[in-house]
Copies of this chain bind each other. A is one copy, B any other.
């Protein structure tokens, strides 16, 4: 069986057993089973395994996976670590091909449990089983409803189906990325939290996602690489087809030690890895927000064909800082054609600042934006348009969403890129969400917008074969 089928098994099982399922709310084994009820309701087979129960959450419970009638494709294991090797052996006998181990208590505790991981892996290899984890929150696929999380749905939003895959060594960061995605209406193709990655690693998943049809962009949070050579080869192949953004944790000496006790991996040394990542076509993020911001930009706007930026706002503060950031990040302020400036002057209020950046001032209406953006997009020197909003201003209103939908379409037709900036309370957040739904990635502060735009520019160079 090829790697594609092996990894795909985690997202497309027909039947799942939860080994260590619990009937007690608040327990991990209860939460995992409960979150899989949607998989069950969608027609999947779901088997709680617990020797002390006959039924959990309305499902028949089995003493052992060996007692389940019919076949089981995948198992989610939430029992104590010391029991795991024998559980895997039972899974092997049952014909299970994919296992997610949620439980901790392995390599991350240092030497005393290290043998346990090797032992478990040896059993798995015997049966040709692939394992994700241990010490993780596992996998999520919004299309097939596979959801191995122990985070109840009322506490953690799940995003809808889409084109983004996130891989993460840290379950915590995975949870945050998914909830941010859900709030922004950013859709997910596949999600994997792989923790100690005793078997399946980033390289395996990348080779799968490279060909997985829904996935168009991948973001990874990484603490340490096991087999570096394998990873960089996979990354190189992946980035020939799709963009890959990586955030690395644990590069400081102290953090390297912390990472060791988190997922059992030594974080990599800073500069050496950075160069290797870049050579492999990887775009590097510096914080979790930046990883998310860049992935969102690439998911919505694909790439930028050049570095030349025009900016517009009804409140200039953010543009002053965006100009600073543009100069730091190696993007450029577009030099507008004199005909563009003339058009702007002719069609806008005399109080408008007709330079790049264009300041419509606080009296601007959605119609003023429309007129100005139309003119700016027609300028051949503009590759990207950064649109900042003070939605709170009295002369603005919700019709700006329709305006932006049109502008985004026009930009797309011209091969140009649009990003938006706006921040504030519930009113602005609701408009930002509408903007996201219209396909325009939106950011609270200009520095975050500019870094996301840089990812679009870097990927654009890759697409055009320039880099």
Set B154, B183, B319, B327: member contacting A262, Cβ < 8 A: B319
For window 421-456 of chain A, which residues contact chain B by CB distance below 8 Å? Answer: 423-428, 444-445, 447
A320 near B425: Cβ-Cβ < 8 Å: no
Set B27, B151, B425, B447: member contacting A156, Cβ < 8 A: B425
Set B255, B320, B326, B424: member contacting A320, Cβ < 8 A: B255
Set B172, B393, B424: member contacting A318, Cβ < 8 A: B172
Tell me how far the C-beta of A294 lies from the nearest C-beta in chain B, rounded to whole angstroms.
14
Surface stretch bound by B, among A124-132, A174-182, A199-207, A409-417: A174-182
Q: A394 in the interface, Cβ–Cβ < 8 Å?
A: yes
Tell me how far the C-beta of A20 lies from the nearest C-beta in chain B, rounded to whole angstroms.
12
A262 near B394: Cβ-Cβ < 8 Å: no
Name the B residues within 8 Å of A221 (CB-CB).
317
For window 24-39 of chain A, which residues contact chain B by CB distance below 8 Å? Answer: 26-28, 30-31
Q: A328 in the interface, Cβ–Cβ < 8 Å?
A: yes
A394 near B172: Cβ-Cβ < 8 Å: no
Tell me how far the C-beta of A48 lies from the nearest C-beta in chain B, rounded to whole angstroms.
16
Q: A261-B355, A351-B109 are in contact. Are A447 and B155 (CB under 8 A)?
A: no
When all copies of this chain in the complex are counted, the total is 2
Set B253, B255, B426: member contacting A157, Cβ < 8 A: B426
B324 near A359: Cβ-Cβ < 8 Å: no
A155 near B427: Cβ-Cβ < 8 Å: yes
A363 to B78, CA, bound (A): 11
Name the B residues within 8 Å of A390 (CB-CB).
151, 171-172, 175
B394 near A31: Cβ-Cβ < 8 Å: yes
A26 to B364, CA, bound (A): 11
Q: A150 in the interface, Cβ–Cβ < 8 Å?
A: yes
For window 167-202 of chain A, which residues contact chain B by CB distance below 8 Å? Answer: 168-173, 175-176, 179-180, 182-183
Name the B residues within 8 Å of A267 (CB-CB).
320
Q: A223 in the interface, Cβ–Cβ < 8 Å?
A: yes
A152 to B361, CA, bound (A): 17
For window 314-330 of chain A, which residues contact chain B by CB distance below 8 Å? Answer: 315-321, 323-324, 326-328
Tell me how far the C-beta of A430 lies from the nearest C-beta in chain B, rounded to whole angstroms.
10
Q: A258 in the interface, Cβ–Cβ < 8 Å?
A: yes
Name the B residues within 8 Å of A393 (CB-CB).
150-151
B428 near A179: Cβ-Cβ < 8 Å: yes
Residue-wise, chain A 346-363 has the 8 Å CB interface mask toward B (1 for contact) of 000001010101010111
What are 5 A-B pairs with beta-carbon distances under 8 A? A151-B394, A155-B391, A170-B316, A172-B318, A255-B321
Other A-B pairs, 16, CB within 8 Å; known A172-B315, A180-B423: A108-B359, A151-B394, A154-B427, A170-B315, A170-B317, A171-B317, A172-B317, A173-B318, A176-B424, A176-B444, A179-B423, A180-B424, A252-B328, A259-B320, A262-B319, A287-B445
